Amino acid sequence: MRFIDSHTHTYLRGPEDLELMSVAGVEGVIICSFFPVQPLGFSTMRDLFRWVMEEEPMRLSSYGISSRVAVGIHPRSIPEEDLKAVLDHILALFDNEKASALGEVGLETGSQEEEYVLTQQIRIANEYPVPMIMHTPRNNKEKIVDKLLGIIESENVDPARVIIDHLTPDLVAKVRSIGANVGLTVQPGKLTPKDVHEVILKNGPEGIVLNSDIGNKPSDPLSLPRVAHYLDRAGVGGRDIQMITYSNIRALIPL
């Protein structure tokens, strides 16, 4: 089986994990930008983007893993200073076709500042237009998802280009009903392979993309192979498994 992990921070993991992923059939990943400390300003963000766009794809390719990069300001790491300069820089990266998507962006608490930063980024991404990977928080998820869907509508974003990520099973139908894609994160404390099975039985495989969100928090580089194994044993057809672990994300962000 072939896998593309639709949301990762592989640059926060060691080489052993990349080797494991490669051996297990993960042939591609989407690298999402996130800096785990609140950045002071422009230079931190510029260097983060250089890391994920220049250094990390080379490191991944040495393990036979291809990658595409999403750049953006995560709601938990909004720079203290130089916001305008960072936004201009993001625009330039899309202009030079150095980044394939906006992400990870979204809302954490749903504060006015977060909303402003998200909206500014959406307006930039809408110009190109690139896919957008949107984070949702652990707390207050339904309220934040509603807010995100409202922003998508009011900013005239094509929902087919959006992934609403880290969704819980109860919110899948709502996000699918407006035509946006659903990101399911399989990791300790989030979803299990069994949860994914239930979502597929209820909603089908269209518009659903799986990810490990591997990074600095507890997470599993083998999330996708493990889900595929579980679904296969549960009797889910190979085509459906392939859609959620490979082809749906490939159609959205070609690798």
- Which residue, 207 or 215, has its beta carbon nearer to Zn ion? 215
Q: Which of 162, 184, 213, 227 binds Zn ion (CB under 5 A)?
A: 213
In terms of CB distance, is 82 or 213 closer to Zn ion?
213
Residue nearest Zn ion (C-beta atom): 213
**Closer CB to Zn ion, residue 57 or residue 72?**
72
Residue 211: CB minimum distance to Zn ion, A: 8
Which range in 55-63, 168-176, 196-204, 213-221 contacts Zn ion by CB under 5 A? 213-221
Phi-psi category of residue 182: left, alpha or beta, with phi > 0 → left and psi -120 to 50 → alpha: beta
CA gap 208, 148 in Å, rounded: 18
Nearer to Zn ion, 108 or 213 (CB): 213
Segment lying near Zn ion (by CB under 5 A), choices 49-57, 148-156, 207-215, 236-244: 207-215
What gap in Å lies between CA 118 and CA 107, rounded to an integer?
8
CA–CA dist 227, 168 (Å, integer): 16
CB of 18 to Zn ion, least distance (A): 17
In the complex, minimum distance from the CB of residue 90 to Zn ion, in angstroms, rounded to a whole number:
17
- Taking CB under 5 A as the binding criterion, the range among 13-21, 51-59, 194-202, 205-213 that sits at the site for Zn ion is 205-213
The answer to whether residue 17 forms part of the interface with Zn ion (CB under 5 A) is no
Q: Which is nearer to Zn ion, 183 or 225 (CB)?
A: 183
Q: Pattern of binders to Zn ion over 159-198, x per CB under 5 A?
A: ----------------------------------------
Q: Based on CB atoms, which residue is closest to Zn ion, 120 or 219?
A: 219
Q: Closest approach of Cβ 236 to Zn ion, in Å?
A: 26
- Least separation in angstroms between residue 232's CB and Zn ion is 27
Report in angstroms the alpha-carbon separations of 216 from 19, 102, 181, 187. 17, 21, 25, 12
Give the total of residues touching Zn ion (CB under 5 A).
1
Closer residue to Zn ion, CB minimum distance, 187 or 236: 187
Q: Which residues bind Zn ion (CB under 5 A)?
A: 213
